[in-house]
Amino acid sequence: MYKFTPNDVFFNTVETNPQYSISLYKNQAYINNQIDESPNKPAGVLSVYGTDNYVTASGNWFVLGKTFSGGDVTLNEITYSQAAITASIQRSFISKSADGYDEEYTTAKAPFKLLSLGNTINYYKPFNSIYDLDYFLISSSVAFNKPIPNYLPATSTEKIKPKTDINMIEIPSMFYGGNINPGSVDLQFYITGTLAARAQDINLNGQLIQTTGSTTGDVIGVVLYNEGVILITGSTSLNTSITDYYIQPTASGGTAVLAQPKWIYFGSYQNITSTPIVSSSYILNFEGKHVVPTLTMLAHANKNDLNWSNNPSYLETGSYENYLAVTNSANYIENSQLSIKNTVSSSFANYSASFKPQTFINTVGIYDEEGDLIAIAKVANPVRKTNEQDYTFKLRIDL
């Protein structure tokens, strides 16, 4: 057992930048063009563990006890089920009306989501003047001089008053990690399969500026990079000759409304009624930033060290039985005449090359100060270790 020196242990960080392209069309979402990754993980979702962790077991699979009857063994039947933990891109919509917002077409709790972002939106104000809650709401609709709990309506008749329809795209942190990289958000609005408009943060200041389409140069929304939220307010028509059922009710008994394509309808791909959105599709591109702290350890196998093995195959056949010469309450003496197997390869058939001590390292164990094994590192193929050769194994673990 060897002890790490201060020069053998390093703490550092690794930055990863996961890239995603989310395609949305007709009640389906696709991540990086993948339809699905398993039967239990449909398209458009990420799993907490990155794999399908949905487990169902039933029937006589596990023996929790045995019952003997007439010589037969009966297994106790159990049932176990664990659903996969997933996350997906969400869209919330606030439909402006004369008295505030239309509840029939406003996503449940969307106004309160916007209010909860009030301080966050104002935090970004030094980057751009559009980062201001006043940009989205009529000031008289919210008591800004009161504590946050008083922002919420005191009665069922009180409502916030948005200045326009507001489209909120919510990206879970599972996708991007620490934050979304500034300038990486790219929105693409397709109509009948043709790119009609595109918006990007070309100035790296959070403003989404339309770079393609009839209203090129317009600011259509902002991005909250640390929170994974996109707020879209662009209400200019992108195509006056096309209409679709972008405005969907929040309940199945409601009526979908035809409208011309606009940025406020970006990501409207799900229909709750029998009138689907068929003319439009959308692509959302972005890049995340995830900083992972890591621990790097250098494990040294020096010359003339690690030249013994407790594996029975290390000795000649029949020698292992004579491993101990004497063992009793007073003595424990190993046999000094054990015959080590010659594993040095020869280029000739049925011939052994001259003996040289050598071992094969396939595992490195990490122990704590108490001598308890806390980690194991395995190599892809055993490493041949001779007395003349030294090795250093570089081990790294994400913290």
Output phi, psi for 149, to 5 deg.
Answer: -55, -30
Label residues 61-86 b or e (16+ Cβ within 10 Å = b). eeeeeeeeeeeeeeeeeeeeeeebeb
Helix (H, G, I), strand (E, B) or coil at 61: coil
Can you give the pLDDT at residue 176?
92
**Cβ-contact 353, 345 below 8 angstroms:** yes
* Tokens (6 digits) for 257: 């409304």
End-to-end CA distance of the chain: 24
Amino acid at 197: A
Low-confidence residues in the chain, pLDDT < 70 = 36-42, 48-84, 139-158, 318-321, 323
pLDDT in tens, 38-74: 556 667 777 766 555 444 554 444 444 444 455 555 5
pLDDT at 39: 57
DSSP string covering 121-164: HHHTTTT-TT-SHHHHB-GGGS-TTS-GGGGS-SSTT----BSS
Q: What is the pTM of this model?
A: 0.72
Rounded Cα gap, residues 111 and 96, in angstroms: 11
Provide the pLDDT for residue 310. 75
- Give the pLDDT of residue 139: 67
Cβ(128)–Cβ(207) under 8 Å?
yes
Q: How many CB atoms sit inside 10 A of residue 178's CB?
A: 15
> Which of these, 65, 291, 269, 272, lies nearest to 173 by C-alpha position?
291
- The residue length of the chain stands at 399
